[in-house]
């Protein structure tokens, strides 16, 4: 569950068209999302034969979409893997605890509901008015890892998407002094769990359209009463403005996450500037006196990220 995400019903539609589940626009969108997920899985070797993937489903649009895409891809994947949907009921006031079990049963997916009253713990420990997300997330992470172990999961799939990754990149640059985003795949600190983000190439707008068309039973994400992080909101607004005013810019940023040139940054831990001599071969060469290279056209960049996305 991402604190920053507003319920899908409060989001404006990204297109004027209505996507019904059998319309061509919907089928194209479904194909595009599944292709993006398939590519991310392939590019980062996220899932292999015999894996058990525990998909964390919060009841938000992203995790429903993730589960739907993984189930569809499993049907035609060359590898055999198990999917277990998992929801953590944190006992937030008004949480409709019947919704997800009903949904999982309706689609016939194996599932595990874990009920832990982290809400009371957080309310008890954090003074009124202070942000609760960091303790809440820490508690949630511990429960998710424990559950993954119990069910024998070799992968934990989270519903973060491309725009979450970019927002995190800017949050870290603007407020943390780091060029650091959200990795598509990571290993937990204790080395016991591999966490994957198969929606890494999918846009929030596509996911929102898909979720609307699929009519997922969305559970609001503000039940804990926590406000959306103001800094993340600010970054989101900035990126949405860029997307409107500069077509292709966001796609270029997403591509940039995959094209890091350490010799052209300034981090001596990534590139040995101190030991650099006239014999050192530098990636992308000597650009000291060159004009800045122009970015690729937006359409080419989009195809780089998602071949066939525009077909």
Pattern 217-246, ligand SF4, x by CB under 6 A: -------x-x--------------------
136 near ligand SF4, judged by CB under 6 A: yes
- What Cα–Cα distance (Å) separates residue 25 from each residue in 2, 31, 302? 28, 10, 18
3 near ligand SF4, judged by CB under 6 A: yes
- Residue 224 labelled as part of a binding site: yes
Minimum distance from residue 140 beta carbon to ligand SF4 (Å): 7
Minimum distance from residue 2 beta carbon to ligand SF4 (Å): 7
1 near ligand SF4, judged by CB under 6 A: yes
**Helix H or strand E segment including 304:** helix 298-305
Residue number with CB closer to ligand SF4 (11 or 141): 141
Q: According to DSSP H, which parts of 45-184 are helical?
A: 61-76, 99-107, 118-125, 133-151, 162-176
- Nearest-angstrom CA–CA distance, 271 and 287: 16
| Chain CA centroid to CA 297, Å | 25
133 near ligand SF4, judged by CB under 6 A: yes
99 near ligand SF4, judged by CB under 6 A: no
Query: Structure tokens of 61?
Result: 């649009």
Phi-psi region of 50 (alpha: psi -120 to 50; beta: other; left: phi over 0): left
169 near ligand SF4, judged by CB under 6 A: no
56 near ligand SF4, judged by CB under 6 A: no
- Residue 202 labelled as part of a binding site: no
**Helix H or strand E segment including 196:** strand 194-196
DSSP string, 218-253: PPPS-TT-PPPPHHHHHHHHHHHHHHHHSTTHHHHH
Minimum distance from residue 244 beta carbon to ligand SF4 (Å): 27
Q: Of 19-27, 132-140, 186-194, 279-287, which part binds ligand SF4 (CB under 6 A)?
A: 132-140
Task: Name which of 104, 53, 87 is nearest 216 in CA terms.
Answer: 104
Minimum distance from residue 61 beta carbon to ligand SF4 (Å): 15
Q: Of 13-21, 129-137, 145-153, 298-306, which part binds ligand SF4 (CB under 6 A)?
A: 129-137
Residues that bind ligand SF4 (CB under 6 A): 1, 3, 132-133, 136-137, 224, 226
Binding positions are: 133, 136, 224
Binding positions for [4Fe-4S] cluster are: 133, 136, 224
């Amino acid at each position: 569950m991402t604190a920053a995400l507003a319920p899908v019903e409060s989001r404006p539609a990204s297109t004027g068209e209505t996507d019904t589940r059998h319309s061509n626009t919907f089928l194209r969108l479904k194909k595009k999302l599944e292709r993006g997920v398939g590519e991310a899985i392939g590019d980062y070797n996220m899932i292999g034969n015999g894996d058990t993937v525990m998909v964390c489903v919060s009841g938000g649009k992203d995790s429903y979409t993730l589960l739907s895409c993984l189930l569809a891809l499993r049907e035609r994947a060359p590898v055999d893997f198990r999917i277990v949907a998992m929801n953590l009921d944190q006992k937030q006031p008004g949480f409709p605890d019947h919704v997800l079990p009903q949904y999982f049963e309706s689609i016939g997916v194996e599932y595990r509901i874990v009920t832990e009253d982290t809400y009371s713990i957080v309310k008890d420990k954090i003074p009124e008015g202070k942000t609760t997300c960091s303790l809440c997330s820490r508690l949630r992470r511990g429960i998710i890892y424990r559950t993954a172990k119990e069910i024998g999961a070799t992968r934990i799939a989270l519903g973060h998407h491309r725009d979450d990754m970019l927002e995190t990149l800017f949050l870290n640059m603007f407020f943390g002094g780091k060029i650091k985003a959200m990795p598509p795949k990571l290993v937990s600190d204790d080395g016991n769990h591999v966490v994957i983000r198969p929606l890494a190439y999918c846009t929030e707008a596509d996911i929102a359209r898909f979720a609307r068309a699929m009519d997922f039973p969305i559970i609001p994400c503000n039940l804990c009463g926590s406000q959306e992080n103001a800094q993340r909101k600010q970054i989101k607004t900035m990126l949405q403005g860029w997307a409107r005013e500069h077509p292709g810019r966001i796609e270029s940023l997403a591509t940039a996450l995959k094209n890091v040139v350490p010799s052209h940054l300034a981090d001596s831990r990534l590139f040995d500037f101190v030991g650099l001599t006239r014999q050192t071969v530098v990636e992308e060469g000597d650009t000291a006196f060159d004009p800045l290279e122009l970015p690729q056209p937006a359409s080419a960049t989009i195809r780089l990220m998602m071949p066939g996305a525009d077909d």
